[in-house]
Amino acid sequence: MAEGRRDERRRFYRGGRRNRPDSKPELKVKQPEMPPVECPYCKKPIFDVSSSLADPSTGLAVHFDCAIARLAEFETLGPNEHMLYIGRGNFAVVEYTDKNQTRFTIKRTVPWEKEGEKYDWRLQMQKRMGI
């Protein structure tokens, strides 16, 4: 008998979020995807522009891996030094202080992108994402 009442309560319950008139999901218009951008270093298309960096001289989008490879050509690393991306368009040369490579000291920073620079390809990506 207790179960019967519970089923009855559930069946005739009219409240809740789904019955509200303004709770309908908004339909977003899907914008066309950005055409692939060509990397000036390797001449291959960049399909994921959000993970690319800007070339310091031209401001064009480059693959993250191409940026690291280009940086490795100009930076000489010591035997225990490694190159890390520390964010905001900057890299750092670090030296790990333990064998597990969890603690490190930053030897020097290497700026890659110009600070505060607005790039056209990044602005287009932000517009398409609605940011």
CA distance 17 to 24: 10
Whole-model pTM: value is 0.63
Q: Which residue has the higher pLDDT, 30 or 115?
A: 115
CA distance 57 to 79: 30
Tens digits of per-residue pLDDT, 7-47?
555 555 555 555 555 555 666 666 556 667 889 999 999 88
Q: Which two tokens stand for residue 127?
A: 């517009």
Tens digits of per-residue pLDDT, 42-93?
999 988 888 889 998 888 899 999 999 999 888 888 888 889 999 888 999 9
* pLDDT score recorded for residue 67: 92
* pLDDT score recorded for residue 109: 92
Query: 21 in helix, strand or coil?
Result: coil
Query: 81 in helix, strand or coil?
Result: strand
H-state helical runs in 1-131: 2-11, 64-74, 120-129
Tens digits of per-residue pLDDT, 88-108?
889 999 998 888 888 889 999
User: Could you state, in order of their start, the residue ranges of all structural domains in the chain?
Assistant: 34-129
